[in-house]
Amino acid sequence: MLEDTSFAIHPGQNQAMENGSYRDVGTVKSIQKRDGGLTFICDEADIHLQFYRSDIVRVVMNQRDIPDLESTPAVVAALESVNVGIEETDSRVLLTTNRLVVSVSKQPFRLSVLTPDGQVIVSEGDRGIGFKENGEVICYKKMEPEDRFYGFGEKSGFLDKRGETYTMWNTDVYAPHNPETDPLYQSIPYFMALRNGRAYGIYFDNPSKTTFDMKTEQEVYSFKGDSGKLDYYVFAGEGPKDVIEQYTHITGRMPLPPKWAIGYHQSRYSYESEEEVRALANTFKEKGIPLDVIYLDIHYMDEYRVFTFDKDRFPNPKKLVQDLREEGIRVVPIVDPGVKKDPEYPAYQEGVRNDHFCKYLEGDIYFGDVWPGTSAFPDFTDERTQEWWGNWHQFYTELGIEGIWNDMNEPAVFNETKTMDTSVIHKNDGDPKTHRQLHNLYGLLMGKATYEGMERNLNGKRPFLLTRAGFAGVQRYASVWTGDNRSFWEHLQMSLPMCMNLGLSGVAFTGPDVGGFAHDTNGELLTRWTQVGAFTPYFRNHSAIGTLYQEPWQFGEEYEAIMKRYIELRYEWLPQLYSLFHEAHTKGLPIMRPLMLEYPRDAKTYAIHDQFMIGDNTLIAPIMQPEVTDRAVYFPEGEWIDYFSGKVYEGGTTHLVHAELDTLPLFIKRGTLIAQSPIRTKTEQKELELHVYAHTKGSYNTSVYDDDGETTNYYSGEAMKLNLSIQCKDHQIAISYRNDNEMEWPLPYKKCSFILHGLVDDQQVWVNGERQSGVWTEQGLKVEVTI
Ligand code: GLC
């Protein structure tokens, strides 16, 4: 391709990139009230302001047009009625809610957002909102020297994105993911900025190609869209967790996954036959390595036709799915959007007859080359087509399948541009637009069609969906893996900030291909990666055709034993992880967190990309280099206990930590609690252990959540929500708990106990107001309770 040659630095390139000059919206001429907000009629364009909540303001500008207030399908929040005080002078309009102040200066239109006590959150200088002759819409904002930037969805590189530019244009990138490889598969035009511990966020609701630039200028950043309108939301914070809550209020939160989807998954491109899949399942069983899911990659299909099985390789898929289900293993097949052009193939026939495929304006179906050869692509922008596609999934649910893997849904096409012709027209529920205008929605809407179709067909069971491409709001339907990485140590390193930034962008259920997809892995890399994978929200080992097989036993017994131990650990930690999934479901918060999310006032955490937290009290500092057994670990304030050795580390500073290949540096904050199950196999657990890491001061509140893990009964409150608090003093630890579930759910635990680690000699233990003597075990004092 030309851009891969020296043509990329052709002297004429700069001119081509210039794209015309910026035109400001100009001076405010009049102001009108409409649609629950205010429209500012300016010299060159009109700008509309709306309050979605008292802490969320939306700004809309349509170039030379009355602002169209239609949102993309990413937005699910309804406009609330917010009390807004309006004050107007000759030069300025002040709009005040109880959480923020929007100040608009009129000559020219410039917008600032402030806290009620006058601290500036967002402001504009010489330039504000404008557009260019070529149809671009653009917005400039001031950048302070201390501003840090996070989010932007799935991006390579480090955690803090200051000094970078990012483009949002869903792209299938098989070439190695480098720090400069941009864009990738997902587009989430959203970021969070942190300034001295205070955070705000901006979501740019535009599905065409958008670009965020925090690099070109020192004191200003910008975001722009190639087409469409400037339509953005400001989230006023104040902490980074508040911003995520605000952003996911607008774009939605994840449903609770079925529990089996948060276990260990094994995949390969491809396990090519029924025998191979059965042998794989048997090996896991023989070796006693827990496994919840086996994936079927493209070889299961009849010449890559979706909704078919190859009759020679998979003669009896129903029996296969049933037999594996009896062993507690689910089968998840891949489903790509390309439908093979074949007049004798029912999905294609139906799609053509009922007008479900993307077409050119002139009426011809758009065809592109993907795995099945020439293929047509469903137009997911039309609800009618979403339903049609969703209904086809009965093909899988009738076989007993409960999870689907969506791939190539950028959409990827094997051509120079890597995607669909941008002049293709999408029906868009009666408001036709070109693919150029809607490109980034394709994966999200395929996910919606698939998830909703599966949900309809599963009669009250929760579906699981994995997707490669997506847009803001993708968390409502799917878990996201980070595409075709490679078996490089650098890719293990890069997966941490990538997943953390996805988490800060509302996508909590995420993880990379453990072991690396392309290239050959090795025992040490796979072992270190599996240790990390045991704590990433999504945990799947996947590898490419032609590479070494990389199941946990492929590199010898020493490595196998360590990987087995960490996969088991994943299962022991499930009650804790599931409670965090519940937090993602209710508040939008990520499970895998950068340290800055928990310690936004500690500047040392702002750029830490090689450590992460699970929830608010677990710190992980993996080893991500070959033959390294020592690393520096930064501990935030407090005291931290090594999960394996019990050694205590003083926080607020950096320590050197030793970790042989069998050890993942994993630390729990003193004075807190984690929920575990001692059962090391499968996601069905019968015993709950609440591990308290004793301290002599401080208090901690948390909750442990559980439900049947399988059905949608939790929608109506059938769950356990154990609210816990711990008060630590010199001579006493007082724990209290209460099950606050809204509706009776028969608890499956035969036993529940508190285990107190690191009690000081004369510390008494009280639970719900009663003194406990407990029983001493190797781990600490064990106190059995009923809940
Ligand atoms: C794409 C996917 C990869 C999959 C392969 C074959 O490269 O990213 O995960 O295995 O296609 O379907």
Using alpha carbons, select from 327, 343, 336, 451 the residue that is nearest to residue 397: 451
Q: Residue 256 in contact with residue 462, Cβ under 8 Å?
A: yes
Asked if the structure places residue 578 within a domain, the reply is: yes
Residue 748 CA, distance from chain mean position: 30
> How far away, in angstroms, is 269 Cα from ligand 1 center?
7
Asked if the structure places residue 595 within a domain, the reply is: no
- The pLDDT value given to residue 12: 60
- Of the residues 224, 251, 278, the one at which a domain ends: 251
Task: Return the active site residues.
Answer: 407, 410, 484
Same domain, 620 and 700: yes
What is the Cα–Cα distance from 608 to 122, expressed in whole angstroms? 25
Helix (H) or strand (E) holding 445: helix 442-457
> How far away, in angstroms, is 261 Cα from ligand 1 center?
19
What CATH number has the domain bearing residue 633?
Answer: 2.60.40.1180
- Of the residues 251, 267, 302, the one at which a domain ends: 251
Instruction: Compute the mean pLDDT over every residue in the chain, rounded to the nearest whole number.
Output: 95
> How far away, in angstroms, is 129 Cα from ligand 1 center?
40
Q: What is the mean pLDDT of residues 226-231?
A: 95
- The pLDDT value given to residue 13: 55
Ligand 1 proximity of 173 Cβ (cutoff 6 Å): no
Q: What is the pLDDT of residues 736-752, one digit of tens each?
A: 999 887 777 888 887 89
- The pLDDT value given to residue 465: 99
Asked if the structure places residue 320 within a domain, the reply is: yes
Asked if the structure places residue 684 within a domain, the reply is: yes
Ligand 1 proximity of 298 Cβ (cutoff 6 Å): yes
Same domain, 166 and 276: no
Tokens representing residue 201 in the block: 């966020």
Asked if the structure places residue 2 within a domain, the reply is: no
Same domain, 646 and 539: no
Confidence check: pLDDT of 263 > 60: yes
> How far away, in angstroms, is 272 Cα from ligand 1 center?
14
- Of the residues 222, 251, 280, the one at which a domain ends: 251
Q: What is the pLDDT of residues 151-177, one digit of tens each?
A: 999 999 999 999 999 999 999 999 889
Confidence check: pLDDT of 601 > 60: yes
What CATH number has the domain bearing residue 244?
Answer: 2.60.40.1760
Q: Residue 408 in contact with residue 435, Cβ under 8 Å?
A: no
Q: List the domain range (segments joined by +) for residue 92.
A: 21-251
- Centre a 10 Å sphere on the Cβ of residue 195 and count the other Cβ atoms it contains: 18
Q: What is the mean pLDDT of residues 333-350?
A: 98
Asked if the structure places residue 359 within a domain, the reply is: no
Same domain, 127 and 186: yes
Same domain, 428 and 526: yes
Same domain, 448 and 542: yes
Same domain, 225 and 268: no
Number of the ligand 1 atom closest to the C-alpha atom of 298: 12
286, with CB counted inside 10 A (0-12, 13-18, 19+), is: exposed
Same domain, 162 and 114: yes
Number of the ligand 1 atom closest to the C-alpha atom of 545: 10
Ligand 1 proximity of 337 Cβ (cutoff 6 Å): no
What is the Cα–Cα distance from 233 to 206, expressed in whole angstroms? 11
Same domain, 439 and 500: yes
- The pLDDT value given to residue 740: 86
Q: What is the pLDDT of residues 272-299, one digit of tens each?
A: 999 999 999 999 999 999 999 999 999 9
Confidence check: pLDDT of 676 > 70: yes
- Can you give the pTM of this predicted structure? 0.97
> How far away, in angstroms, is 174 Cα from ligand 1 center?
9
Angle at 712 between CA 711 and CA 718, to 5 degrees: 95
Asked if the structure places residue 676 within a domain, the reply is: yes
- The pLDDT value given to residue 748: 80
Confidence check: pLDDT of 469 > 60: yes
Ligand 1 proximity of 356 Cβ (cutoff 6 Å): no
Tell me the one-letter amino acid at 546.
G
- The pLDDT value given to residue 66: 79
Residue the block writes with tokens 């950096």:
654
404, with CB counted inside 10 A (0-12, 13-18, 19+), is: buried
Q: Is 175 helix (H, G, I), strand (E, B) or coil?
A: coil
Helix (H) or strand (E) holding 232: strand 230-235
Same domain, 703 and 737: yes
Same domain, 264 and 245: no
Ligand 1 proximity of 269 Cβ (cutoff 6 Å): yes
What is the Cα–Cα distance from 356 to 556, expressed in whole angstroms? 50
Q: What is the pLDDT of residues 541-565, one digit of tens each?
A: 999 999 999 999 999 999 999 999 9
Q: Residue 258 in contact with residue 62, Cβ under 8 Å?
A: no
Ligand 1 proximity of 301 Cβ (cutoff 6 Å): no
What is the Cα–Cα distance from 264 to 539, expressed in whole angstroms? 6
- The pLDDT value given to residue 680: 61
Ligand 1 proximity of 231 Cβ (cutoff 6 Å): no
Among 305, 370, 484, which is best to mutate for testing ligand 1, by the most ligand atoms less than 8 A from CB? 484
In what side-by-side order are the strands of the sheet with 648-650? 592-593, 612-614, 618-620, 666-669, 639-642, 648-650
Q: What is the pLDDT of residues 413-463, one digit of tens each?
A: 999 999 999 999 999 999 999 999 999 999 999 999 999 999 999 999 999
pLDDT > 70: what percent of the chain? 96
- The pLDDT value given to residue 34: 87
Q: What is the pLDDT of residues 37-48, one digit of tens each?
A: 999 999 999 999
Q: What is the pLDDT of residues 55-114, one digit of tens each?
A: 999 999 987 667 889 999 999 999 999 999 999 999 999 999 999 999 999 999 999 999
Does residue 183 have a cis bond before it (omega within 30 degrees)? yes
Number of the ligand 1 atom closest to the C-alpha atom of 483: 8
What CATH number has the domain bearing residue 303?
Answer: 3.20.20.80
> How far away, in angstroms, is 517 Cα from ligand 1 center?
9
Tokens representing residue 281 in the block: 């399942």
- The CA-to-CA distance between both ends of the chain, in Å, stands at 64
Q: Sign of the C-alpha dihedral, residues 237, 238, 239, 242? A: negative
Same domain, 622 and 581: no
User: How many structural domains are present in the chain?
Assistant: 3
Asked if the structure places residue 373 within a domain, the reply is: no
Confidence check: pLDDT of 16 > 70: no
Q: What is the pLDDT of residues 644-675, one digit of tens each?
A: 999 999 999 999 999 999 999 999 999 999 99
